[in-house]
Amino acid sequence: MTDRKAQTVSGEQMEEQRLYMEQVRHLPDRPRTFHVVTYGCQMNAHDSEYMAGMLKEMGMEEAADREEADFVIFNTCCVRDNAERRALGNVNWLRQVQKKNPRLKIAVCGCMVQQPGMAEKILKQYRFIDLAFGTANLYRMPEMLYRALTEDHAVVEVDQKDVVPEDMPVQRLRQDAAYITIMYGCDNFCSYCVVPYVRGRERSRDMDAILREAEALQKGGVKEIMLLGQNVNSYGKGLEEGATFAKLLHRLDDMGIERIRFMTSHPKDLSDELIEAMGSCKHVLPQFHLPVQSGNDEILKQMNRHYDRAHYLDRLNKLRATVPGIGITTDIIVAFPGETEEQFQDTLSLVEQVEYDSAFTFVYSPRSGTRAAKMDCQIPPEVASERIQRLIALQEAHQRHAMERFLNTREEVLVEGLSRRSETAVSGKGRHGLSVTLEGSGEDVGQIIPVQITEIKNNTLIGQRLTDA
């Protein structure tokens, strides 16, 4: 086991980075405004909040638009090929902007950069990039930026050090809800997935550090926390015995934070202890994102998922029995190498059986360096696209049916913003994780509002305000 204390980056190392922030602040030609373009998952969104926090400490203001900023960072994703292509397309486009504004500095960071040989390739192909760094190097951004601004060459840092950074400055996007990373990396090596290669080995944060962060957020008025990790329910590996995810939930629940959510969980690590915690923690919301990936046992084996359909359904049934009405969502991959029509039918039948509240559906995308990318029988794109369309149609039909259980029930909605469809409506998330729209105005943003669900429109729940608040 690696020494977790050695992985923790705080104290002196963080102090050093703070000194670099000061130095950048005093550079006469430093950028004055920044913009972070974020691709991918919540982990990336949270990393971008750290970048914004550090850049503000360096005296920069956030520009609303990338064309108006003099420092633009692309925080990339590489889970699927299209995420990668979109990021590179946008980097290329920014070059035109740089021609008009020679002061513009450009950085590329995140998972895409972390792939073997990728940083070198990017810098060769895109010579106008000033800075490239990987996910584990994020805390060193002040020093790297200082060097990029004072030395006459691009700065690259992509070594994977598997660190656990603490005490980085952070500029959170929302006042009412906040992300807290509880673990980094992933050890599961699902055969299709690039995450363990680009985010490194699994490592958990100290429970006390998490609790301190949560407490400070609670004091600052945050109503909802979202615990983040690639595999939150294996939290605790490498920590002292008994530091489990369920225990962490109990400790946070005892603090009385209004709403606690988390993502993502792996079905193989969904313990009875966690299901019990879901049932007994008052503030842990009744929702669970449980990626299934496929409904076929042979494909699950090829994917290296370490569970079969029966085990998945057993865990789900237990969750539903413990937390009646719990919101269940999932991720599904179609057209994994070798997937036959019959095997795909098993995924369809699982979707029918479970009735998910929503499902993120993906066409399998080969990722270099993964085991599945080398497998025979890659599925032709036209078959993959036909399969995903059938899956989406089936999921939509069942989703509507699943949502009907909320009709005429009470929900509490944490309002996120004005509705995109109407100026007199707002929308947010109910306790079960579903989007709810209700009449309201900007004043409701950040408030928890009790509603009665009266309708389902365009796959969204519609609520009428209740006055017993």
Interface residues with ligand SAH (CB under 6 A)?
Answer: 79-80, 186, 192-193, 195, 230-231, 264, 266, 291, 293, 331, 333, 362, 364-365, 367
Count of C-beta atoms within a 10 Å radius of residue 392: 14
Interatomic CA distance for residues 453 and 465, integer angstroms = 9
Is 195 a binding residue for ligand SF4 by CB under 6 A? The answer is: yes
Is 149 a binding residue for ligand SF4 by CB under 6 A? The answer is: no
Q: How many CA atoms lie within 13 A of 232 on its CB side?
A: 25
50 binds, among ligand SAH, ligand SF4, none (CB under 5 to 8 A by kind): none
365 binds, among ligand SF4, ligand SAH, none (CB under 5 to 8 A by kind): ligand SAH
Binding mask 86-125 for ligand SF4 (x = CB under 6 A): ----------------------------------------
196 binds, among ligand SF4, ligand SAH, none (CB under 5 to 8 A by kind): ligand SF4
Interatomic CA distance for residues 439 and 452, integer angstroms = 12
Q: Which is nearer to ligand SAH, 251 or 306 (CB)?
A: 306
Is 73 a binding residue for ligand SF4 by CB under 6 A? The answer is: no
Binding mask 257-286 for ligand SF4 (x = CB under 6 A): ---------x--------------------
**With contacts defined by CB under 6 A, how many residues of the chain interact with ligand SF4?**
10
Token couple for 347: 């995924």
244 binds, among ligand SF4, ligand SAH, none (CB under 5 to 8 A by kind): none
At closest approach, how far in Å is the CB of 26 from ligand SAH?
41
Interatomic CA distance for residues 31 and 101, integer angstroms = 12
> With CB under 6 A as the contact rule, which of the stretches 158-166, 192-200, 247-255, 274-282 interacts with ligand SF4?
192-200
Q: Which is nearer to ligand SF4, 328 or 333 (CB)?
A: 333
- Closest C-alpha to 369, from 116, 83, 136: 116
For 91-124, b where at least 16 C-beta lie within 10 A, e where not — what string?
A: beebeeebeeeeebbbbbbbbbbbbeebbeebbe
Is 189 a binding residue for ligand SF4 by CB under 6 A? The answer is: yes
189 binds, among ligand SAH, ligand SF4, none (CB under 5 to 8 A by kind): ligand SF4
Residues in touch with ligand SF4 (CB under 6 A): 186, 188-190, 193, 195-196, 230-231, 266
